[in-house]
């Protein structure tokens, strides 16, 4: 069984110093060109300390891909010098820098301010999305390759293909979202075609650099009747392993969640993926509510994963990575402190405002007063 402080050597020889990854987190804070701001770099810098891998926020591969206001861009060559700031910041804190490559498809946030049409594998009137044309599909596949080339030029150690969280790649894989009648829709083989073509495009963009790490993030199941099941996702994982990716990252709300359908529902999804990858020399990353050092250690000790990724834990506790070294679980927050401001939480204003936006105003007023009273009494 691995210790959290053990190094890991990917199948391409790249060594990661420990088993901890910062999960990709959108921050709504790049400028209007998708270029890194000081706010964004200040968010990354403390949080990368103590982590082996830092997976940077979802980053758009072309104009249609943008799903958030302030989303970083890797769609143009003049993005490279700005992406370099992100890679350098991560490196200055001692982690390997991975850029997450993203296309939102029809799952665009309402305030994304993106003037392009919404596109998806199939028309979806509720999301005002139209079906992607064959040439848009070809172009988008190429754009993932272009973004990979830029990530490499910017000094990133690798890319993570965002195939999770309902975005474009998942929309293609899911029979619930994909009703195409061409070679990209219908059978599982056809629904796998687009995500796997993206993988091939990314691999071909870095074929002269075998040390460049490629990961793929996926969401294993959907609740809809025609939605993804474990058997779809296990087939995807098998195909990714054949392509000798360095890692597969399973996006879960809770690391311990059990399979829903088409697999042994008494077993956790992570356990089933780990079993599938036995002997295939592809690393697995697990994530979901591992918001203290002890929970991260316990998850690794299940033996179902090679790495644990941390989202909210490190968002709310920027010193998370350093805490793991001494297993210091004292006084940790589950959420940013909403009774204080963005600067107190070492977060960009726009990101902090997203959290405030989830809380009804009267509740926020109570949180602020309670926070003040607690501080007054030194609690
Ligand atoms: C503020 C925020 C932004 C996120 N942005 C991304 C993202 O850009 N890409 C992605 O794949 N997941 C994103 N996620 C999901 C996280 O990577 C992670 O999977 C999820 O938060 C569960 O892990 P946790 O319980 O440790 O937070 C985001 C989560 C949060 C809280």
pTM above 0.85, yes or no: yes
* Domain map (residue ranges) of the chain: 8-334, 336-379
Above pLDDT 70, what percent of the chain?
100
Residue identifier of the C-alpha nearest atom 22 of ligand 1? 288
Q: According to the model, what pLDDT value does residue 1 have?
A: 80
Residue identifier of the C-alpha nearest atom 31 of ligand 1? 312
Residue identifier of the C-alpha nearest atom 14 of ligand 1? 25
Residue partners of 172: CB distance under 8 A and separation at least 6: 121, 178, 184, 191, 193, 194, 195
What distance separates the 2 farthest-apart alpha carbons in the chain?
66
CA 51, chain centre distance (Å): 15
Top-level class of domain 8-334: alpha beta
Whether the per-residue pLDDT at 379 is higher than 80: the answer is no
- Closest to 66 in 3D by CA, of 18, 23, 33: 33
pLDDT tens for 308-349 read 999 999 999 999 999 999 999 999 999 999 999 999 999 999
Atom in ligand 1 nearest the alpha carbon of residue 313: 26
pLDDT tens for 241-283 read 999 999 999 999 999 999 999 999 999 999 999 999 999 999 9
Whether the per-residue pLDDT at 374 is higher than 90: the answer is no
Average confidence (pLDDT) over 64-92: 98
- Closest to 114 in 3D by CA, of 122, 105, 123, 126: 105
Residue partners of 256: CB distance under 8 A and separation at least 6: 268, 270, 288, 299
Q: According to the model, what pLDDT value does residue 377 have?
A: 87
pLDDT tens for 126-152 read 999 999 999 999 999 999 999 999 999
């Amino acid at each position: 069984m691995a210790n959290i402080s053990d190094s890991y050597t990917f199948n391409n020889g790249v060594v990661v110093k420990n088993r901890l990854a910062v999960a990709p987190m959108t921050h709504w804070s790049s400028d209007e060109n998708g270029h890194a701001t000081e706010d964004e770099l200040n968010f990354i810098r403390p949080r990368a300390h103590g982590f082996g891998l830092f997976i940077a926020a979802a980053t758009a591969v072309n104009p249609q891909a943008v799903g958030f206001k302030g989303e970083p861009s890797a769609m143009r060559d003049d993005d490279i010098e700005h992406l370099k700031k992100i890679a350098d910041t991560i490196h200055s804190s001692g982690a390997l820098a991975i850029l997450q490559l993203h296309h939102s498809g029809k799952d665009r946030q309402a305030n994304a301010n993106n003037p392009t049409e919404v596109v998806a594998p199939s028309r979806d009137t509720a999301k005002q999305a139209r079906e992607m044309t064959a040439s848009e599909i070809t172009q988008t596949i190429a754009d993932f390759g272009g973004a990979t080339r830029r990530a490499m030029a910017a000094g990133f150690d690798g890319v993570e293909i965002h195939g999770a969280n309902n975005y474009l790649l998942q929309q293609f894989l899911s029979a619930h979202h994909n009703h195409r009648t061409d070679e990209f829709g219908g059978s599982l083989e056809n629904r796998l075609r687009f995500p796997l073509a993206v993988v091939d495009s990314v691999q071909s963009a870095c074929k002269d650099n075998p040390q460049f790490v490629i990961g793929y993030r996926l969401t294993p199941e959907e609740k809809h009747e025609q939605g993804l099941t474990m058997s779809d996702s296990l087939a995807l994982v098998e195909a990714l392993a054949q392509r000798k990716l360095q890692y597969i990252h399973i996006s879960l709300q809770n690391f311990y969640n059990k399979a829903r359908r088409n697999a042994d529902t008494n077993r956790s999804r992570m356990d089933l993926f780990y079993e599938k990858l036995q002997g295939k020399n592809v690393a697995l990353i697990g994530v979901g509510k591992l918001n203290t050092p002890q929970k991260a250690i316990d998850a690794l000790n299940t033996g179902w994963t090679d790495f644990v990724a941390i989202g909210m834990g490190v968002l709310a506790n920027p010193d998370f990575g350093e805490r793991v070294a001494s297993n210091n679980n004292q006084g940790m927050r589950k959420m940013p402190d909403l009774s204080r401001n963005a600067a107190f939480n070492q977060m960009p204003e726009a990101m902090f405002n997203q959290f405030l936006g989830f809380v009804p105003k009267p509740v926020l007023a109570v949180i602020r007063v309670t926070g003040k009273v607690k501080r007054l009494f030194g609690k």
